[in-house]
Structure 1
Amino acid sequence: MKQQIREVLKRIELEYDVQILFACDAGSRALGFADQESDYDIRFIYVHKLNWYLSIDQKKDVLELPKQDTLSIEINPLLDMSGWELTKTLRLFRKSNPSLIEWLQSNEIYLQQYSTIEKMKAMTGNIFSSKSFIIHHINIAKRNFDVVLAKKEGNIKLYLYILRSILTGQWIVKYGSVPPVEFQKLIQILSPGQVKKAALKLLSAKQVGEPLLNDIDLTIIDDFIVKEIDFLESYAKQLSKSQPDPTNTLNQLFRETLEEVWS
């Protein structure tokens, strides 16, 4: 599949007249939740030629394949591919967009070329906003937990996403740094006990393809989720959102990228 993904990325470059700077998996495979049936959630960052940017009209800055955009070749149904144009990417990076920063931390990288991404990674520590990250993951946890409660079933995938968001928040509280992407690393922040044991059981079940789990007391997990969401919400309110403005640096990075890629 990796070779096919790279072939599709090359085809995108040819047919859309862009260069892809970076492509990674941002779904269950990157997070450590994957089973044999899991999709490949490929996210990429691309740059157009100079003339594309010299326009008074705003243009489309996202590619979504096969959902909204097309290619001349068939795309494997397991592939869900979405890319952001570079200026959109840098604007979101300036805001410490959690999804983007997590892409940059992915351990499933399919393409990385030119120097832009390494420069962005080197800037991440200064760009990173604890407040933005925690609020983002609180919202994910609350939204998924509402679904779990409404359906009244032990949906393993949803529980894992909820737990991952909470553990991401806990990591930030404890270390004040960009959290790892992988669930297996995040879970190490939990002390040995019933919650950690139940979380590991959920992970094992998901990796073998079980959609539901009814043989453990999920109230242990539910109580933990409610408690930690309340704590993280209170913690986030105390955090400052003020960050040094990196706009000039990012503008320069954009110009350097155009020069490096297209000269």
Structure 2
Amino acid sequence: MRETILASLEKIEEDNHVKILFACESGSRAWQFPSKDSDYDVRFIYVHKKEEYLAIDPIGIGSKRDVIELPINDLLDITGWELTKALRLFRKSNPPLMEWLRSGIVYYQAFSTIEQMQELSKSIFAPNSCLHHYLNMAANNFREYLQGEEVKIKKYFYVLRPVLAAGWIEKYNEFPPLEFSTLVNHLVPEGPLKIEINTLLKRKLDGEELDKEPKIQVINQFLNEEIERLREYASSLTSGIPNFTTKLDLLFRNTLEEVWN
């Protein structure tokens, strides 16, 4: 699959006259709870030639899109963000982008831009906005999939992970690791809850069909209580991070010089 992904990225560069700076895995594979039939969620950051930026219409306006998406098939989902779009979101500590920069599965990396972003990400971290992102994701999935006596059992992971990510931010005041097992081991005490979570994880990794089953009461109770508790905690935080625009402007200009000269 890696060869297929790299060939797709090369074709994207040729077809769109861009340079890809970074491509990684996102989603369940990066979170380390893929099913045997999980697709590959590839995310990348790219940059246009200089002349595309020296125009009266900025990238992202009208027909000048700031996203490249390939048609999704059963195995492969490839989406990329243009660099200025990525840097604007990075300035706000955008959680999906922060996760890309920490992915343990990197398919491609060129030039120095991503290393610089990874270093800056230690300072560009907004606990408040990240907490709200994870808690909204958890609450929406909890409400949508885990109510009733029978639930879509695999959806537990898509509520547990954002809840634990929010818990990591509360406990350590830093951006959470991607790996689900790391979150569980650091945040869930020994006992029935941890046993149920690890049993469910083993079943998923073993390739069992996790369709509708009776809900797991101990997990439901934990999720319900944690979402409410962490929402109260998030509401007590003040928002805002230092303005890194000057540094990010310089990073963008230096990238253009490094890539195209």
TM-score of the superposition, structure 1-length normalised?
0.93
Indicate whether 1:79 and 2:84 are aligned: no
Structure 2 contact 22–110 (Cα < 8 Å) conserved: yes
The Cα of 1:154 is off from its aligned counterpart by 3.1
AA matched with 1:118: E
For the 8 Å contact 1:156–1:206, the answer to whether it is kept is no
Aligned residue for 2:156? 159
Q: Is the 8 A contact 2:145 2:155 kept in 1?
A: yes
CA shift, 1:78, in A, is: 0.6
Query: What is the aligned counterpart of 1:191 among 189, 197, 213?
Result: 189
What is the alpha-carbon root mean square deviation over aligned residues? 1.4
Following superposition of structure 1 onto structure 2, how do residues 15-94 of structure 1 map, counting pairs within 5 Å?
15-57=15-57, 58=61, 59-67=64-72, 77-94=74-91
Percent identity over paired residues: 47
Letter in 2 for 1:63: I
Structural mapping, 1:141-156, within 5 Å: 141-150=138-147, 152-156=149-153
Amino acid at match of 2:176: P
Give aligned pairs, total: 254
Matches of 1:149 and 1:29 in 2, distance apart? 22
Distance of 1:196 and 1:49 partners within structure 2? 50
Contact 1:23 1:112 in 2 (8 A): yes
- How far has the Cα of 1:152 moved from its partner? 4.8
Residue 211 of structure 1 and its aligned partner are, at CA, apart by 2.0
SS of the equivalent of 1:254 reads: helix
* 1:153-188 deviation per Cα after TM superposition (whole angstroms, max 9, x unaligned): 332331101000111011111111111001011111
State the alpha-carbon separation in 2 of the partners of residues 31 and 156 from structure 1. Answer: 17
SS at match of 1:154: strand
Quote the offset at 1:56 in angstroms: 1.6
The CA deviation at 1:246 is 0.1
CA deviations over 1:186-231 (Å, ceiling 9, x no partner): 111211111111111121122213223637x611111101100011
Rounded to whole Å, the distance in 2 between the matches of 1:90 and 1:18 is: 17
Indicate the residue corresponding to 1:105 in structure 2: 102
Residue 167 of structure 2 corresponds to residue 170 of structure 1: yes
Q: State the match for 2:4 in structure 1.
A: 4
C-alpha separation in 2, matches of 1:116 and 1:174? 30
SS for the counterpart of 1:138 is: helix
Query: Compared with structure 1, are the counterparts of its residues 77 and 210 closer, same or farther at alpha carbon in structure 2 (3 Å cutoff)?
Result: closer
**Any conservation in 2 of the 1:42–1:79 contact (CA below 8 Å)?**
yes
Aligned to 2:252: 254
AA partner of residue 123 (structure 2)? N
- Given the two structures, how large is their TM-score scaled by the length of structure 2? 0.93
Please list every run of 5 or more consecutive structure 2 residues that lacks an aligned counterpart in the other structure.
Answer: none
Provide the residue aligned with 1:200 in structure 2: 198
Counterpart in the other structure of 1:131: 128
Conserved 8 A contact 1:202-1:213:
no
